Amino acid sequence: MRRRESVPTASFAGWRGNNMLVVHILWTLLALNLLVLAHEGGHYLAARKAGIKIYEFSIGFGPRLFGWRKNDIDYSVRALFLGGFVRMAGVEETIEGGKDDEQLADDDPSNFKNKSLWARVAVLFAGPFSNYVVAFILFAVAYAFFGVPYDIVDEQAKVGYVIAKSPAYQSGLAVGDKIVAIDGQPIENWDAMTAIIRQNPEKKLTLTISRNGQNLSIDIIPRQAFGQTEPYGEIGVQREISLKRLGFVDSIKTAGRQVWYLNVATVRVLTGKEKADFMGPVGLVSEVGQATQKGAGWFLQIIAAVSGSLAFFNLILIPLPLLDGGWIMILIIEKILRREFSQNQKAIAQMIGLAAVLVLFVVVTWGDISGLLQRYF
């Protein structure tokens, strides 16, 4: 997922305590599994609409925890909350998991293989599409009920939020402080302040701040920004903002633009037009943790961004077997070649896709961990 700059709204103060890391992980798992539910639900509904035989709808992998059976479909929850799958007839390695061990006849009309190309593509496309819909809805709700954050017209470098345990927090910076100079150099606006801080990671700076009509001096050492491979200082503050609730129509328009922006921004990174700034599971827990502390509106926006990124990742970013976009690509190639790939060929392609996803997971996770090590050690 690509990082986004966002601003909190309502507070989750009741969740604060000594075990916040555990709470943050639980919030992250809950959010991700709701997104998985939406994704697999898209596959499920499209398959039902197409008349494809469904054996099982599962959230999670591994040992079965509990479930029920209805209309000859097994609904289950499994021990590893790291995904899910829809097991349907005619799919060798069903969408995101499971095996078709209850074979239907090759000519059975409810077999996935016997459906038209466009029906099969629709079933595969429905998962990512559902995540796009969820992203759109969450953004719209956040903008309508909690408001869109925007910078105050006053361009002074006024602190609007201080991140816990950051250099700013440890040095005593407070909400409402105006940074008027750094090492004696006058600061006219927020951008001028951040430019100096970014250029001086791990170097002591003296901030002159205005607080309640009095000027104070504070020494601070910017830390290396999380996830940045080049020198990039930060002190853990956000500028003063205001919130503006949008009407129904504007919320819809803004949500649509934001979902589109997620895709455009990712493409710009891939084409080298924008600096890469991705996060893995460790970074996601950190972002969700900050969101639950800083506001319900921000929390909704973070989860919306994750949902939109999952859709793009599955459908377009990496068109490899194992992911929906990869299977769609295989179906189209088969149509062009007018022949079906063998199960062995598909299995090899799927293993390549799995290896690629695992490598990406390791690389991004290592980036998260190395960022934490740079920050705290």
Report pLDDT for 55. 92
Report yes or no on 341 lying in a domain.
yes
The residue whose two tokens read 């194992």 is 322
Whether 254 and 304 have beta carbons less than 8 Å apart is answered as no
- Domain range for 349 is 117-144+246-377
Answer yes or no: do 127 and 256 share one domain.
yes
Report yes or no on 307 lying in a domain.
yes
Cα–Cα nearest to 56, from 46, 37, 70, 42: 70
Helix H or strand E segment including 76: strand 73-88
Report pLDDT for 354. 76
Answer yes or no: do 208 and 316 share one domain.
no
pLDDT digits (tens, 9 = 90+) for 137-164: 999 999 999 887 765 445 678 888 888 7
Report yes or no on 325 lying in a domain.
yes
Answer yes or no: do 365 and 251 share one domain.
yes
**Is residue 16 over pLDDT 60?**
no
What average pLDDT does the segment 252-256 reach? 92
What average pLDDT does the segment 89-111 reach? 63
Last residue of one domain, picked from the residues 218, 239, 260: 239
Last residue of one domain, picked from the residues 239, 271, 289: 239
Answer yes or no: do 181 and 232 share one domain.
yes
**Is residue 110 over pLDDT 80?**
yes
Q: What DSSP state is assigned to residue 90?
A: T
Phi, psi dihedrals of residue 35, rounded to the nearest 5°: -70, -40
Answer yes or no: do 128 and 277 share one domain.
yes
What interhelical angle do 117-145 and 20-50 show, nearest 10? 140
Answer yes or no: do 309 and 275 share one domain.
yes
What angle is formed at CA 172 by the lines to CA 169 and CA 174, rounded to 5 degrees? 80
Answer yes or no: do 267 and 167 share one domain.
no
Answer yes or no: do 341 and 257 share one domain.
yes
* Whole-number Å distance between alpha carbons of 190 and 63: 53
What angle is formed at CA 98 by the lines to CA 304 and CA 127, rounded to 5 degrees? 30
* Whole-number Å distance between alpha carbons of 187 and 206: 12
**Is residue 197 over pLDDT 60?**
yes
Kindly state the tokens that stand for 240: 């003063």
CATH code of the domain in which 181 resides: 2.30.42.10
Answer yes or no: do 216 and 257 share one domain.
no
| Beta-bridge partners for 226 | none
Q: Which residue has better confidence, 108 or 10?
A: 108
Mean residue pLDDT of the chain comes to 80
Report pLDDT for 144. 92
Report yes or no on 212 lying in a domain.
yes
* Whole-number Å distance between alpha carbons of 352 and 344: 12
Kindly state the tokens that stand for 207: 């901030």
- Please count the structural domains in the chain: 2
Report yes or no on 350 lying in a domain.
yes
| Beta-bridge partners for 58 | 76, 85
Answer yes or no: do 283 and 335 share one domain.
yes
Whether 289 and 8 have beta carbons less than 8 Å apart is answered as no
The helix/strand/coil state of 72 is: coil
Report yes or no on 43 lying in a domain.
no
Report yes or no on 351 lying in a domain.
yes
Last residue of one domain, picked from the residues 186, 207, 239: 239
Q: Which of 116-120, 270-274, 307-311 has the lowest mean pLDDT?
A: 270-274
Whether 226 and 375 have beta carbons less than 8 Å apart is answered as yes
Answer yes or no: do 368 and 251 share one domain.
yes
Residue 340: active-site member: no
* Whole-number Å distance between alpha carbons of 234 and 118: 50
**Amino acid at position 72, single letter:** D
Report pLDDT for 17. 44
Q: Which residue has better confidence, 4 or 370?
A: 370
What average pLDDT does the segment 53-72 reach? 91
Q: Which residue has better confidence, 1 or 130?
A: 130
Answer yes or no: do 195 and 269 share one domain.
no
Report yes or no on 69 lying in a domain.
no
Cα–Cα nearest to 322, from 313, 333, 335, 334: 313
Report pLDDT for 96. 46
Report pLDDT for 347. 78
Q: Pick the catalytic residue: 40, 234, 240, 287?
A: 40
